[in-house]
């Protein structure tokens, strides 16, 4: 499984579309937002801090959600997954390997946005920077699992539009583009991106987001189980 993870990471980092869409695009959006908002506030905190987190999560979710689903759809069309099933690699190991390798690829998207935030004056302690990076990276496993599940749930030719619709809707109603209003908050709580963004609360003096962590852990369990089930179902239909 370690070899599979390493190969998946190398293949992703060599993908120019990955570098453009999941690393440069969120960084450029962050520059746009801080230029538009300046030193004003967003969601009760500095706009520079708020959009640094939201654009880092946007890039991280994009890296794992679109990347994993699209790669799986291509592997299904090419027959690669069928070949893997003929090896000694167990199905659960393959699923977990996919999730883990996708999650690792979120780090460039997070780090690039953080570097811009630091240059623009976001003032955090070393412990806060490291804690925030760790929280967002660990949280990305949820969306890696969702991406793997979607990669097997949809037909290969329909994966890309399905994933983009899910991705944009979750970002739109999860506090990525603008703070979630009080009227939408009750609905946003059913959106894992909303809880993902809440992980940054500790850098704003709001304490550890225990509820968000519990909700994301539940989502991770559900999405991982769904990915494993859909992988087995796809194997039976092959």
β-strand partners of 46: 41
Q: What band does 88 get if pLDDT is binned at 50, 70 and 90? A: low
Q: Does the structure show a pLDDT above 60 at 28? A: yes
Give the residue with greater pLDDT, 208 vs 29.
29
Name the packing angle between helices 91-104 and 47-78 (round to 10°).
Answer: 140
Q: What is the mean pLDDT of residues 72-87?
A: 68
At 85, the pLDDT band (50, 70, 90 cuts) reads low
Structural domain harbouring 34: 2-237
Q: Determine the average pLDDT of the residues in 96-117.
A: 85
For 175-189, what is each residue's pLDDT tens digit?
A: 888 888 888 888 888
3-state secondary structure the chain: CHHHHHHHHHHHHCCHHHHHHHHHHHHHHHHHHHHHHCCCEECCEEHHHHHHHHHHHHHHHHHHHHHHHHHHHHHHHHCHHHHHHCCCCCHHHHHHHHHHHHHHCCHHHHHHHHHHHHHCCCCCCHHHHHHHHHHHHHHHHHHHHHHHHHHHHCCHHHHHHHHHHHHHHHHHCCCCCCCCCHHHHHHHCCCHHHHHHHHHHHHHCCCCCHHHHHHHHHHHHHHHHHHHHHHHHHHHHC
- Quickly state the pLDDT bin for 18 (edges 50, 70, 90): low
pTM, entire model: 0.86
Domain count, the chain: 1
């Amino acid at each position: 499984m370690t070899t599979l993870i390493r190969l998946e990471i190398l293949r992703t980092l060599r993908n120019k579309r990955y570098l453009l869409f999941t690393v440069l695009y969120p960084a450029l959006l962050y520059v746009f937002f801080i230029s538009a908002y300046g030193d004003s506030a967003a969601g009760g905190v500095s706009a520079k801090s708020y959009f640094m987190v939201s654009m880092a999560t946007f890039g991280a979710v994009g890296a794992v959600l679109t990347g994993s689903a699209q790669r799986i759809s291509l592997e299904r069309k090419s027959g690669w997954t069928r070949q893997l099933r003929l090896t000694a690699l167990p199905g659960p190991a393959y699923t977990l390997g996919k999730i883990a390798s996708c999650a690792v690829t979120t780090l460039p998207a997070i780090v690039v946005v953080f570097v811009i935030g630091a240059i623009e004056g976001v003032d955090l302690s070393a412990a806060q920077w490291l804690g925030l990076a760790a929280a967002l990276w660990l949280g990305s496993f949820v969306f890696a699992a969702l991406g793997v599940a979607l990669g097997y749930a949809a037909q290969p030719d329909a994966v890309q539009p399905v994933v983009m619709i899910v991705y944009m809707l979750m970002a739109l109603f999860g506090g990525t583009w603008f703070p979630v209003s009080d009227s939408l908050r009750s609905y946003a709580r059913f959106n894992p991106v909303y809880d993902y963004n809440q992980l940054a609360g500790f850098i704003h003096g709001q304490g550890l987001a225990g509820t968000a962590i519990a909700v994301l852990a539940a989502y991770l369990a559900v999405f991982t189980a769904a990915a494993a089930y859909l992988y087995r179902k796809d194997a039976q239909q092959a």
